[in-house]
Amino acid sequence: MMGSVLFTKGHGTGNDFVILGDPDGALELTPQLVAALCDRRRGIGADGVLRVVRSAKHPDAAGYAAEAEWFMDYWNADGSIAEICGNGVRVFVRYLLTNDLATAGPEGLPVATRAGVVRALVGSGTINVHMTTPRVYAASTATVGSLTLPGVAVDCGNPHLVCGLPQGVPLRSLELFHPPGIDAGTFPEGANVEFVTPLEPVEDADLHVAMRVYERGSAETQSCGSGALAVGAVALRDAGRSAGVVSVQVPGGQLTVTHTAAGEWWLAGPAVLVATGEIDVAALN
């Protein structure tokens, strides 16, 4: 029976996480414990849990140990396991650097995820992550209240459905209190659903959009990094661009998606650690 557990709280554009340092994979993490930690009234409160464990010490990441020392074991707020989290990777890297568990060289810091190994470059105030190449692959729909919205399925290592809003429907008008209705045939394991509207151009970006997201296993969140990547991929495709920069405005801030001429996809944004502490596991219920 666990007693107390040390934790750090962090966020990337308002997408917040409980971070558990567990280098040797000794913590008995369960769906029930994750859900209790993420409870915003009875626990610490978060959109998910990031467990920091050495790749060699976790069965899901042992195959990546030669490429990346550290594995981001990411769990959604409801206790389900997710493949990757773009905002989570940046916060994970910030934790490693702050706690002197790794250093970021000129080639970046590799991090193992269930979607593969990603690489992070650390800048002044932001972290830029070389992400899995998004794959835009099918048309589908999402139902929100009385609206049925056409969308595009995107695989970013995890499943997404990107839906553009019709002209005259404000992004703020969507009622995202419940999961959007999506096609189980296209998304047998569910999906993060992004709702998008274009914005006026901004400096240093080819395209500028606003996004809200309902995250699988968490509900509406302030931001979703892999969701921004999916949105950026669809925006560039629809604009007929083979490369470019997309500024994605989310409720919690701003993210930048870049598709380079060499075919690489990058996600940049802030990553902040706000608190450390100790929680009594027995008190969680």
Query: Which residues are identified as catalytic?
Result: 85, 224
- Record the tokens describing residue 179, joined without a space: 């999961």
Q: CA 117 to CA 131: how far, in whole Å?
A: 9
- The Cα–Cα gap between 76 and 49 comes to 7
Give the burial class of 198: count Cβ atoms within 10 A of its Cβ; 0-12 exposed, 13-18 middle, 19 or more buried. Answer: middle
Distance CA 204, CA 118 (A): 24
Instruction: Report CA 241 to chain centroid distance, whole Å.
Output: 24
The contacts of residue 282 (CB under 8 Å, 6+ apart) are 1, 2, 3
The encoded tokens of residue 173 equal 């008008």
Tell me the β-bridge partners of 280: 4
Backbone angles phi, psi at 75, to 5 degrees: -125, 135
CA distances from 200 to 58, 205, 235, 236, 246 (A): 45, 11, 14, 15, 12
Torsion angle, CA of 6/40/193/239, rounded to 10 degrees? -70
Q: How many residues appear in the chain?
A: 285
